[in-house]
Structure 1
C-alpha cells in the first residue's frame, strides 16, 4: 500500500477511536453513493454525524481541514442525502471534519463540528 494510503488509514482509525471515546457509535466507514464517499457516519443519541477525515503527515502546505473543498463538501452532502433517505433517518444531522496530523509518532486531532452544510 502506498505511503499516503497508510497515512489516510491511520487517520481514519484515529478518528474512529476519538469518536468512540466521545460517546459516538460509528455506523459506517467509507460509505459510498455514486461518485461520493463519506469517510465516517457516526451516531450519538438522535444525531447522525457525517464525517470527512483529512490526514496529513506535515503541515507545510496548510492544516488538513483546509483541503476540504467546496466540491468535496457537495459530494458528501449528496451521499448523506442518500444515506438519510435509505435509512429513513428522521432526526438531526451534522457535517463535521476531523483533521488528523501525524508527525513522527505524535498524533494531533482537531474536531470541527458543523464544518459545512
Structure 2
C-alpha cells in the first residue's frame, strides 16, 4: 500500500477511536456517493455529524484542518445532501473536522467547522 494511503488509514483509525471516546456513534466510514466521499458519518448528542479527517505527518505546509478549503467543503456538502436525501433525514446536522498529527498522534476536533450554504 502506498505510504500516503497508509497514513490516511492510520489517521482515520485514530480519529474514529478519538470520536468514539467522546461519545460519537459511528454510523458509516468512507461513505460514498458517485465521486464524493465522507470520511465518517456519526451521531453526537442527537445530531447527525459529517466528519472530514485530515492527517499529516508534519506541519511544514500548514495545519491539517487548513486543507479543508472551500472546494472540499462544497464536495462534503453535496455528499451530505445526497446522504440526507437517500435516507429522508430531516433532523439537525453539522460538519466537523478532525486534525490528526501522525508524528505525535495528537488529535484536534473542530465542531461546527463550517456550514452548508
The answer to whether the aligner puts 1:116 opposite 2:114 as a matched pair is yes
Using the size of structure 1 for normalisation, the TM-score is: 0.94
Counterpart in 1 of 2:82?
Answer: 82
Is contact 1:35–1:75 with CA below 8 Å preserved after alignment?
Answer: no
Deviates more, 1:91-100 or 1:28-37: 28-37
Query: 2: CA distance between counterparts of 1:74 and 1:36?
Result: 10
Counterpart in 1 of 2:47?
Answer: 47
Query: 2: CA distance between counterparts of 1:45 and 1:59?
Result: 32
Counterpart in 1 of 2:99?
Answer: 99
What is the RMSD of the two structures over their aligned residues, measured on CA atoms? Answer: 0.9
Query: 1: CA distance between counterparts of 2:94 and 2:113?
Result: 8
- SS where residue 31 of structure 1 aligns? strand
- SS where residue 77 of structure 1 aligns? helix
Using the size of structure 2 for normalisation, the TM-score is: 0.94
Any gaps of 5 or more consecutive residues in structure 2?
A: none
Query: 2: CA distance between counterparts of 1:71 and 1:40?
Result: 18
Counterpart in 1 of 2:71?
Answer: 71
- CA apart distance, 1:8: 0.6
- SS where residue 115 of structure 1 aligns? strand
- SS where residue 113 of structure 1 aligns? strand
The number of residue pairs the alignment matches comes to: 115
Counterpart in 2 of 1:24?
Answer: 24
